[in-house]
Amino acid sequence: MTAVPKKDPYREKIVAPPFSTGGGGINFENKVQTSFVVLMLTNGFAPGLPSWPITKVQVQGKHHGYNVDDFIVTASNGTRAAKLLGQVKHDIAITNNKTFIEVIAAAWRDFNNPEVFDQSLDKIALVTGPLKGTDLEVREVLDWARNNSEVDFFKQIQLARFSSNNKREKLKIIRTQVDKCAGTTVSDKKLWLFLKSFYLLSFDLDFKDGVNICLLRTLIHQYAPEKANGIWAQLLLEVQEKIKVQEKLHWMAYPMKSLSHLKH
């Protein structure tokens, strides 16, 4: 009997049409992507990036050289631009499982590709549904990396009364996957730089009356009173159509004033 070769999770993902793999309805990923379109239309900012208005939202970026490809948000101050690369996984555990291995491998690949990622400005985000249990502490580990020097960060992680075994274990999981993807033991400095650029964002967009959707509808309401629900639904469909044809959504194509003209 011929052995079936195992899939290598560290290899680059093969491009597949997003609707060929199922889940083509208005799902969690679609809502996350649309939430950034709403922020773009209302002159909003993106998590992790400088407080510059969002000017472009790109969906399914694999065809443009990205491995973290569910969305690419660009913000600009007119002279400089910064990008947020996003991978959406509604249910994920921060363990040595196949899905998380693939997320870290894609993030590490883009982080080290200067053609798609500027380490001084750009960020990478794993966007999830509500986090569970011990995974909540991963956000704090990443925050410590951003707010401490390399040396202080690793000292802080090891402090028994300040850190925890769970934080150390989660960091070990990330380091293990980064080392495997890199094919070598990555230095503390390189890992620290990666952690500073990596965000774990939790959305509750799977709940119809959740906080995120309420805030998004409130933003839309500022520009189109009494049409917030209808415009949110229409934007979901518009983004879904953009995914089918692999198009970008630009601020210029959707000026803020157009919100008041969208129909229910």
Domain range list for the chain: 28-137+197-254
In DSSP notation, 189-210 reads HHHHHHHHHEEEEE--TTSTT-
Q: Which long-range contacts (CB under 8 A, 24 or more apart) does 20-27 make?
A: 24/240, 26/236, 26/237, 26/240
- Pick the range with the lowest mean pLDDT from 19-28, 56-65, 129-138, 179-188: 19-28
C-alpha dihedral over 22, 24, 28, 29, to 10 degrees? Answer: 90
Architecture of domain 28-137+197-254: 3-Layer(aba) Sandwich (3.40)
pLDDT at 263: 43
Whole-prediction pTM value? Answer: 0.86
pLDDT at 16: 46
Considering the chain, what is the average pLDDT of its residues?
Answer: 86
Question: In 3D, which of 59, 60, 65, 57 has the Cα closest to residue 83?
Answer: 57
Question: In 3D, which of 240, 184, 261 has the Cα closest to residue 19?
Answer: 240
Tell the burial category of 2 from Cβ atoms under 10 Å away from its Cβ (0-12, 13-18, 19+). Answer: exposed
76, two tokens: 């600009």
Distance CA 104, CA 112 (A): 12
Per-residue pLDDT reduced to its tens digit, 39-86: 999 999 999 999 999 999 998 878 789 999 899 999 999 999 999 999
pLDDT (average), residues 141-160:
95
Distance CA 72, CA 121 (A): 14
